[in-house]
Amino acid sequence: MKRKHKPRLFPEHFSVGQFSRSTRKFEKGRITKPRGGEDRLEYWYTEDPEESEYLDPDFQEHVDKKIEFLKKDGWDPEKQTFWATTQSHLDLGWRWRFIQGVAKAERTFNKVHHHFELFKPFTFTGSQPAMYQWVKFNSPEIWEKVKTDVENGRHELQGGCWSEADGRMPSGEAWVRQRLYGQHFYANNFGKIANVSWFPDSFGYANNLPQIFAKSGADGFLTAKLVSNKQTKWPFWAWNWESPDGTRLFSYLTGNHSKLGPLGGFDVDQLDSDIKESYLNSYRMLKEGRSLVADYETDHPEENENVSDAELPIIGCFFGEGDGGHGPQGVEMAVYRGYAERGHVKWKSTAEIFDKLREFQDRLPVWKDELYYQ
């Protein structure tokens, strides 16, 4: 009988450098640490007041001050509630070798599981099927934890593309295959597919993507990148994105200040970018019964006569350490836990957040263009 081939992430020819022929020390390559050093979650979750970072009066005062910053800058807790979930963006290949990318995926999912063991209310959103395949092939023990967490409804599968690719360079065929392979992996391994297309950190997005995403299972799109535009200010937090064929996809932009989303960004000093003034009034909805179709030729669409003074009552927060995974960090969870215990944050899944935001879809503008990153 022919022996079934077992896929391997690191075949024998990876054991030496391609040009140097030097031996690669895989175990050394698997060492990966988050920004700021090791994260000791137990110190944030323990109920021992002598050990707890969270129960420290100085930390509680810090949370209170952050809430006061928000109020001074115009946030009205009676009118807007934050709905929050966690995530941890990983660049599959950036400033590290392939094996380190795999190690970062393993550490991220294992850390999320440890969070779940220590703190019950929250959920986590994963977004790249490639990461799950790496863990499945290379870390069976962590893979079993992931499957359990998904089954229990705490680890949420979103994205649906095989990876978070560049948003402008791939051809239509490449995008279709991204969706095919990604959604197929989710369906085969978990019995479900993603409904929110997830691209927090790609450098702009082509105008045909709503059509491709919507026809492969998506009814929502999330990004965070556009908050970093230096000159061409992005005018909305929520909108309906229309492709040339007329397909519309509900879309949402989340802030990424200090990896804490909108709740972390009001004291960040960065000229024309990532600050409150850059997105003042961006949460405003259209007047009832009115419409607005805009593109880059539209001058200040957020100030259009069809825009009302009524703001979205729900603000979605998607927070967690990114670029190299390893999130969410203990301190990030602690800040949001503090907001939640003060009644300002509700723990929700990405699907729940998008379902709620879509209730206001008829009062959102239509964007009929690419999404330009500058």
Say what the pLDDT of residue 292 is.
Answer: 98
Contact 255, 232 (CB under 8 A): no
Cα–Cα distance, 213 to 175 (Å, whole number): 9
Q: How far is CA 154 from CA 121, 318, 332, in A?
A: 9, 15, 18
Low-confidence ranges of the chain (pLDDT < 50): 1, 3, 257-260, 265-274
Instruction: Locate all alpha helices (DSSP H) within the chain, ordered by sequence.
Output: 26-29, 41-45, 57-72, 98-118, 129-138, 140-151, 172-190, 209-214, 330-341, 350-357
Say what the pLDDT of residue 254 is.
Answer: 87
DSSP letters spanning 203-256: S-B-TTHHHHHHTTT-SEEEE-GGGG-SSS----SEEEEE-TTS-EEEEEE---
pTM for the model: 0.90
Stretch (H or E) spanning 194: none
Q: How far is CA 31 from CA 34, 102, 114, 142, 351, in A?
A: 11, 11, 19, 16, 34
* CATH assignment, 48-367: 3.20.110.10
What are the domain boundaries of the chain? 48-367
Say what the pLDDT of residue 281 is.
Answer: 63
